[in-house]
Structure 1
C-alpha cells in the first residue's frame, strides 16, 4: 500500500472503517507474505551407510567414496546415473555438525536460500534464484518419503511454512535442483527437498538412544533427547519401528519495552514417528507410517534494523516488544504405501493425509494511532487439511523403460485473523476486527515418462504432466470486504534428457525441463472508500519456467574423487507477484526473469586420513522484462552471485578407537531482499556477504558414539534473511541473524 493510500485511510469517517481497510492489505503481512491470505523409495530406501559414507572412519586402507543411491527419478539408482543435480545430506553428518533446523540443513548450500520468518517452521526455501522475495506459493516442493507436504494454493501460507522436520530417524535428505514438475507437480519449479525416513527392518531387533546439550553465547542452554526402536514382528515378513524426540531451544534474543525479557525465542520441539512394514509375500510390500511434530516458541528470532544504517535499532540481538509473540506449528502426516511387483512392472498406490495447524501472534502496536492502547496484537490461526492419492506403474529395467502415474490432491484451508488490543492504562481487551479466509484446492494430474537406452552409452528420456485444479477462496467476517471467488486452471509440464556415459565412471547429460505454480482466484480490490475498483483481475494464472542444464558427473582416481558440474539457464515468465491496488493487494502475472548459473561439487579422499569437499555456485538472476515489482535488469531477491563451502576432515585412531575432526566454511555473497523501485511491494535492502566457520569432533566407541561441535565459531552477526514487507508502512526492517556461537555435544548408544 502506498503512503498516499495510507493518508486516505486516515481520513475515513470512522475508526471501524480504518481498521477494516487496514486489516486485509497489511496485517497479514506481519506474519507471512500473503497479503490476503514424494522420497520414498521406488524400490527400497537407501541404507544409512550409502547416505553417510563416512559415519565410522578408521585409519586403515586408502578410502574410497561409496556409491550413493537416490530415488530422484522414482527409481532407485546411483546418484551418478541421475541426469540432474542431486545432493544427498546424510542425517548422521548433520547431527554431528549440530544442525537443528531447516536453515541449518540446506541454508548453507550454495544456490539454496532459506528465508526464515522468525524461527523453525516459518521458512521459505528457494533454489537457483527462482524467487520474487515474497512467495504466495512455494517454488520448491517438499516431500516426506512418497507424501507431498503443504498447500499448493496461495491462501494457506504454503509459501512460508516449509516443512522443518526434525532429523529423528531420517535416513537422508535429497536436494534436487531445477524444476521437477513432471514427476512431482505443482510448486517444484525451483527444485525439490525430500525427507527420506528409515524403513523398519524385519531381520533384527535394535535401536538407538541419544542425548545432547548445547549452549549459545549469551543465550540459554538447549538439550535434546531421542530414541528409536526397531522390532521384528515376523522374520522377513513384518517389522515395527518407533521413534520419539524432545528438543529444547534455550533462546538468545533479548526484548526491551513493555514485554521485555531474555532468551525470548526459547521453546520446544517434540515429535514421534511410527512405521509398520508388511511383506506377506515376496512380491508385495505395504508400509504404514504416521508422523507428528509440534514446534513451540515463546517468541521469534527477528531483530529490528534501521533501513538506512543497516544496524540494529535496539542493540545486538535485541528487539522492542509491546506484547509477546509466541507461536506454535503442529504437523501430522499419515500414509499407506502399497507396492506389488508384477515382474514386468511395479505398481504403487500411496494414500496420505496431513493436518497442519499454526498459531502465531504478532505485535501490531505500531500500526495503530498511539495513545488508545497499551498494545495491539494480530493473531493468525492457519489450518490445512490435505488428502492425496497417487497411483504409479513403473516398468522393469531394460532397453525401454516407462512410468505412468495419476495424482489427486484435495485441500481445505482456513486463515483466521483477529486484531485486538488492550486499552490504555491496563484496561480490558477489545476486539478491533476478526475474519476468516476459507479456501479449497482440488487437483488431478496425469504424468509419465519414457526412456530409451539405445546403447550402453546413450539414453534419452521424455516426459510430460497435465494437471487441472479448481479453487475457491472467501473472506468472511470483514463486513464490506467479504468476498467469494473461484477459479480453474490447467498446466502442462515437460521433460527431456539426453545422457552419454563416457565410461563406466563418468557421464555427461543435457536436461530440459519445465515447472509451474498453480494460478488461483483474487478477491475484489477496493479503493479508499471501500468500493470495488473496476477492471480488477478476478484471478491469476500459473507461472511457468523452462530450465536448460548441461552437466557432468564422474567418480575418478579409483573412486577417491567425485565431481559434479552443471551449467544452467532458466527462463521464467508470467511471474506471480503481489500488487497493491487501492487498499488491497492481489496477485498478478507480470514480467519475465532469467537465471544463468554454474554449480560445482567435489569430494576427494586424499588418503586414509584426509578428506576434502567443496561446493560452488555462481548465479546471475535478473528480471528481463518490467514487472510491478521492479524494472528489467533488477536482481532477483535472496540470491547471491557467489556462494561456496569448503570442508576438511581428518580421521585417526584415538586410544585404538576410530576418531575424526572436521572444519567447515560456508560463504554467501551479497544478496538483495527486494527490488530497487519506489513502487515495489517488496522494497529492497542489501544483505552483506558473510562467511561462517563450523567445527566438529567425534569418537566411536563401538556401541557408543560421542560428538562435539561448534557452530558459527567466529560468532558472526551474518544476516540470513530480511523481511521488507512492512517498510512501506513506516515500520523498521525485520532481520534474522545467524545464531551466535553455539557449542554442544551429543552421545548416542546403539543396541
Structure 2
C-alpha cells in the first residue's frame, strides 16, 4: 500500500508541473465575482433563480461543497437548516424539520438527476462529481409526490462539456483513509459528449475499536464506484442524457454499539448478560461475531428533453438495482447471543413524463409518474448461545435455535398525475396552485419461522400474501409578491403524504400512511449591493399518523402515533463583501412535539402505557446553527491560499419518543477547518483538512431492544485530518 501511495502522489506532482494543456475555464470558489451570486436550480422542474422560488430551499454548488469538504450526504446536515442525517445498519435516515425516516419508506425523497431513489441507503451512494445539490424543506407533495413528506434532496451530476478536460484527485488521512478519483470529459463529436468518473475509497482502520483482543474493528470498508454519462444532441432543441453507474463496497461498514447496561429484567431472563464484556465508551465495541457488508449497486437512467420554445417536453426513465448482504453482531458483546444475517435485494423502475409551459403570464408543468419496485428481504437470527426473550420468558430459545424473517416478494406500484401552475397577473404578483393524485398498490409475501434447537421449523407466520392500496390527493396553493428586484415575500399552503405498508418482520403488521399539512411564509432578500443574501422562513405543520417502531422480543413492530405539531423559524444567509471574504450562516428554531400519542416503553415496561403528549419528536433539536467563515488571498506568484472554518451546533436531540435521559444526545458543537492552495495556473489544488477537530463524540442514530433492555447507537465520525491533491488537465 505504501508503494501505491508514493507512486500516486509522484504522479499527481508530475501532472501538476507539466506544461499546461488547454486553458481551464472552470472557476474555483475564490474566482467568483464579488457578491453572493445567482444560483439557477430546477427544483420546480424548470430553470429559475433559487431566490425567486417561493419555498425554503438550499442550493449548494460544486464549489460550495468543495469549500466545506462535503463529500457524503451525511455532510449536508451541517450545511442545510433543520436537517439531521444519520446511518444505522446501512439505512441513511434524512430528517428535515422533524419529519423523515421513522420506519417504512423514506420520508424525505431522494432524487439523482430527476430519478427517484426508493431505498433509504441510496441517499449516500455515488454523490461525487456533482454540479449542485438542492434541498427543499417542507412537504413536496405536488411536483415530487411519493414520500416527499419532509422534503426533497436533489443531486445533480456534472454534465459533459464540449472540451477535452478532466482531473485526477488523491487524498490520504488518519484511520488509513485513502481516496483515488479520476474524471475525464471527452467531446466525441459535435453532437456527442461523454464524461467518465472512477472513484476508489478505502478506510483501512475502523472508527469503531474493538476492546476484545484480536476482535474486529468496525465502520470501515473499501468501495469502488464509477459513472459514465453520455449526452446526445442530435438537433439544437433535442437533448438525450444517458447515464450508467455502479458501486461495489465490502467491509464491516454497518454496525451499532450498546449504549447502556442491560436492564435487570433482561439479565434475569438471560443470566449470561451479567458476566459479558461491555463497552459504553464512544467508538468502542466488544462484538465477537463476524461483521461484514457486501453492497452492489447498479443505476441506469435516460433523460430526454425537447425544447419547443415556450413548451418543453421531458421524459425521465430510471432503473436501479441494489443488493445489501450483511453479517452483524446484533448483541454487541463478547457472547454470541444472536449473530444476524440481513439481505436486501431490490429492483426499481421509474418513469416520468412532463410538459412545461412558460411565458410572461404563466409558468406551468404537468405530468405523470410511474414506479414499479420489488424487494426481497431476509433477516436470519442464528442463536448460538440460546436466548430468552420477553415473549418467551418460561422456556426461551436453546442454543442452535433460529429465527427467520423472510419476505421473498414485496411489490409496490405507484401511478400518479400532477399539475402545478404559477400565474403572473402583474409584474410583481405570482399566484400558485398545484395538485397531485397518487395511487399506490402494495403486495407483500411473508413467511416467518422459529426453530427450537435441532428441532424442525415452526412457522410463526405461515406463507401468506397481504395486499393494500393507498390513494392521496396533495394540493399546493400560494402567492409570491416581488417588493423589488432584490426582495420578495411568499406564503404557501401544501400537503404531503408518506405511504403506509407492511412491516418486514412482524406478521400481518400493517401501518397507515403519514399525512402532513403545512403552512409556510418567507422573505428572500438581496442586500448591500447584492453582496448579501438573507432568507427567512416560518412554518407550522399538522402531522398525522407518524410511523413509529419498537423492537419487542426479536421482532420490530410499527405503529402510528396519532398526531404531532411542528412549528419553526429558519434564517439562512451568505455574504461575499469582496473577493477575499466569505461568510455563510443559518439558524433554525424548531418546536416539534407529539400532540396525541401513548405507548409502552420496552426499556421500562413497569411504567405501563405512557401518555407522550408534549414529548419532542425524534431528530428535531430545538436549536441548530451552522456558521462558516473563509478568507482567500490575492492571486500571486506563489498561487492563492484559502482558509475556511465551519462551526455546527445542535441542542439536545432525542432519538426515542419517550425522551428519557438515555434517549438523548446532549447539545454539542463541531469544528471543521480547511486550508487550500491553488497553483498560479490553477492546475493543482492542495487541501489540508480537519473535521470534528475537537473530537466530539455524538450519537448519530439510536435503536432499542426490550430483550436486552438496552439501547443501541451509531456514532458520528471522530476527529479526521488529512491532505488532498487535485490536478486539472
TM bucket by the smaller chain?
A: 0.7 to 0.9
Using the alignment, how far apart are the partners of 1:84 and 1:411 within structure 2? 30
Alignment CA distance shift 1:315-1:617 (3 Å)? closer
**Does 1:611 pair with 2:582?**
yes
For 2:460, what is the secondary structure of its paired residue?
Answer: helix
Q: Partner residue of 2:215?
A: 260
CA offset at residue 519 of structure 1?
A: 2.3
Q: Partner residue of 1:174?
A: 134
Q: Would you say the 8 A contact 1:441–1:471 is kept in 2?
A: yes
Q: Would you say the 8 A contact 2:498–2:513 is kept in 1?
A: yes
For 1:353, what is the secondary structure of its paired residue?
Answer: strand
Using the alignment, how far apart are the partners of 1:581 and 1:732 within structure 2? 12
Match of 2:97 among 103, 128, 134: 128
Alignment CA distance shift 1:634-1:207 (3 Å)? same
Using the alignment, how far apart are the partners of 1:248 and 1:583 within structure 2? 34
Q: Would you say the 8 A contact 1:97–1:709 is kept in 2?
A: no
For 1:104, what is the secondary structure of its paired residue?
Answer: helix
Match of 1:673 among 655, 666, 670: 655
Match of 1:663 among 638, 645, 648: 645
**Does 1:414 pair with 2:411?**
no
Match of 1:333 among 295, 299, 302: 299
Match of 2:436 among 462, 465, 475: 465
Match of 1:56 among 26, 30, 36: 30
Residues 608-630 of structure 1 show CA distances to partners (whole Å, capped at 9, x for unaligned) of 32222210000000011124475
Residues 197-219 of structure 1 show CA distances to partners (whole Å, capped at 9, x for unaligned) of 01112x2111111111111xxxx
Match of 2:320 among 346, 354, 369: 354
Task: Within 5 Å, give how 1:198-347 maps onto structure 2.
Answer: 198-201=158-161, 203-215=162-174, 220-235=175-190, 237-250=191-204, 251-257=206-212, 260-261=215-216, 263-300=217-254, 302-306=256-260, 313-347=279-313
Residues 187-235 of structure 1 show CA distances to partners (whole Å, capped at 9, x for unaligned) of 111011111001112x2111111111111xxxx2111111111111222
Alignment CA distance shift 1:580-1:665 (3 Å)? closer
Using the alignment, how far apart are the partners of 2:288 and 2:30 within structure 1? 51
**Does 1:706 pair with 2:651?**
no
Using the alignment, how far apart are the partners of 1:401 and 1:494 within structure 2? 17
Match of 2:338 among 366, 376, 383: 376
Using the alignment, how far apart are the partners of 2:555 and 2:82 within structure 1? 34
Q: Would you say the 8 A contact 1:674–1:684 is kept in 2?
A: no
For 1:73, what is the secondary structure of its paired residue?
Answer: coil
CA offset at residue 53 of structure 1?
A: 7.9
Q: Would you say the 8 A contact 1:684–1:724 is kept in 2?
A: no
- Following superposition, which runs of at least 4 residues in structure 1 exceed 6 angstroms of deviation? 522-526, 579-584
Q: Partner residue of 1:73?
A: 44
Q: Partner residue of 2:352?
A: 390
For 2:29, what is the secondary structure of its paired residue?
Answer: coil
Task: Within 5 Å, give how 1:703-742 maps onto structure 2.
Answer: 703-721=683-701, 723-726=702-705, 728-742=706-720
Using the alignment, how far apart are the partners of 1:637 and 1:173 within structure 2? 25
Residues 465-492 of structure 1 show CA distances to partners (whole Å, capped at 9, x for unaligned) of 0000111112135223123211111111
Query: Which stretch shifts more, 581-590 or 444-453?
Result: 581-590
Residues 236-257 of structure 1 show CA distances to partners (whole Å, capped at 9, x for unaligned) of x111111110011232211133
Residues 90-140 of structure 1 show CA distances to partners (whole Å, capped at 9, x for unaligned) of 33443453434322233553411112215xx43200100115x73222110
Which 5+ residue runs of structure 2 have no aligned equivalent?
Answer: 1-23, 264-277, 387-398, 450-458, 601-610
Using the alignment, how far apart are the partners of 1:524 and 1:359 within structure 2? 17
**Does 1:750 pair with 2:728?**
yes
Q: Would you say the 8 A contact 2:256–2:332 is kept in 1?
A: no
Q: Would you say the 8 A contact 2:593–2:614 is kept in 1?
A: yes
* Aligned residues between the structures: 655
Alignment CA distance shift 1:299-1:698 (3 Å)? closer
Residues 665-689 of structure 1 show CA distances to partners (whole Å, capped at 9, x for unaligned) of 10011011112289xxxx9612101
Using the alignment, how far apart are the partners of 1:525 and 1:225 within structure 2? 43
Using the alignment, how far apart are the partners of 1:169 and 1:585 within structure 2? 38
CA offset at residue 314 of structure 1?
A: 4.7
Alignment CA distance shift 1:592-1:614 (3 Å)? same
CA offset at residue 412 of structure 1?
A: 0.9
Alignment CA distance shift 1:493-1:316 (3 Å)? closer
Using the alignment, how far apart are the partners of 2:559 and 2:337 within structure 1? 35
Indicate the RMSD between aligned Cα atoms, in angstroms.
2.8
Q: Partner residue of 2:495?
A: 514
CA offset at residue 374 of structure 1?
A: 5.0
Q: Would you say the 8 A contact 2:550–2:704 is kept in 1?
A: no
Using the alignment, how far apart are the partners of 2:505 and 2:648 within structure 1? 46
**Does 1:564 pair with 2:535?**
yes
CA offset at residue 740 of structure 1?
A: 1.9
For 1:136, what is the secondary structure of its paired residue?
Answer: coil
Alignment CA distance shift 1:379-1:514 (3 Å)? same
Query: Which stretch shifts more, 133-142 or 460-469?
Result: 133-142
